Amino acid sequence: MNGFVAEYLEHIIPVSFVLRIGDEEQRIGKENPRFTVDLKKNLNKKEMLTSTSLSLGEAYMRGDLEVDHDLYEVLNCFMGEMDKFKIDKLALKGLLNTSRSKKNQEKEVRSHYDIGNDFYRLWLDETMSYSCGYFKEETDSLYQAQVNKVDHILDKLSLAPGMSLLDIGCGWGFLLKRAAKEYGVHGTGITLSEEQYQKFRQEIEDEGLDDLLEVRRMDYRELKKSGMKFDRIVSVGMIEHVGRGNYEEFMENIDAVLKCKGLCLLHFISALEEHEGDAWIKKYIFPGGVIPSLREIIHILPEHHFYTLDVESLRRHYNKTLLFWRENFNRCRTEIVEGKGEEFARMWELYLTSCAAAFQNGVVDIHQLLLSKGVNNELPLNRVV
């Protein structure tokens, strides 16, 4: 039995468990074990000290690490201890701090979102919404929660027929389609994903929405030179791809195209404090992704005369959303393995499950910020609930 591995895992897992390495077993902790960690191959000490997250994550992907209980239950026991994980920032500098150039960020975004519409269609709901749902009732389905989320956003934006709405990072377009159909607004979506662009463009044509909607393959940094102006702007799950150091430019571009008294809603995963991000997530799931802290974004707003009207946390809603996605994913896991391989399936299962546990433990949060450009006294007096 490797003493370092046992001691280190005991340090980061605050409950009792059994550690099995090959034919040897060791009970860790004084209480009844909650689960067993089964290592087919021992963990490498150097790799563990370089990045705990990468070492454990890659071992799970390869099948060298297994647990005998539900993965979410196990991860939920120690995701709140991530501040104890080791990370050598110097050794991982190239992974943690990638180029924020347009060319590289487009490549990073497409590496995730262009895996294939057929893949995402397997485990997302009918709206193809790849962001946090909003559960009004405990019994809400994933589909209903995603419709609730979009309606919650559109209600906050106080839309009226004929208004113009820009969606930065529009995904597959459900929000804009609903805004056009339910509110009669003119919408423009921008995305870097070719797969999302092609699907949304085809649906605009198929559903006869050409007079109300358009979608462009466009970087947000092109907005301020576009000459466009909008009454409302929304961005859902986009600022996480902007990168620390580009938040000012992101808000500058919003400022450039938002009309005076216009409203902007930012919906983004947030962190309590600023950090570089998780090495495993950055290597395998979201290259270049950075989660901003809430205070980082709010700090920028006065420079552009943005007034903060509302701040809402949806952290527990994202936990529930991710558990739905995981259930859907595992339901079609055989098909995913056949198409993309066992290691890919284990990687995505770990991604969805660890993120659910991270939201449950407050490692990450998600916020909606409603902003006005300048003072707007024409809005409803009471908060949208």
d(CA 59, CA 61): 5
Q: What is the rounded distance in angstroms from the CA atom of residue 44 to the CA atom of residue 56?
A: 10
- Residue closest to 284 by CA, chosen among 197, 190, 354: 354
In angstroms, the CA 299 to CA 258 distance is: 19
Q: Of the listed 77, 132, 170, 355, which one is catalytic?
A: 355
Helix-, strand-, coil-residue percentages of the chain, each rounded to 5: 50, 20, 35
Q: Is 260 a catalytic residue?
A: no
Residue reference for tokens 């027929």 = 161
Max CA pair span of the chain: 71
- Rounded CA separation 231/223 (Å): 14
**Six token digits for residue 50:** 């370089």
Distance linking the first and last C-alpha atoms of the chain:
55
Segment holding 141, helix H or strand E: none
Nearest to 193 by CA among 281, 115, 122: 115
Backbone angles phi, psi at 170, to 5 degrees: -80, -5
- Closest to 380 (Cα-Cα) out of 134, 157, 152: 157
Give the residue from 304, 267, 251, 264 showing the smallest Cα distance to 157: 264
Q: Using H for helix, E for strand and C for coil, what is the string for 223-275?
A: HHHCCCCEEEEEEECCHHHCCCCCHHHHHHHHHHHEEEEEEEEEEEEEECCCC
Question: Which two structure tokens, joined as six digits, stand for 184?
Answer: 């009669």
Provide DSSP, 311-348: EEE-HHHHHHHHHHHHHHHHHTHHHHHHHH-HHHHHHH
The three-class DSSP label of residue 193 is coil
Return the active site residues: 355
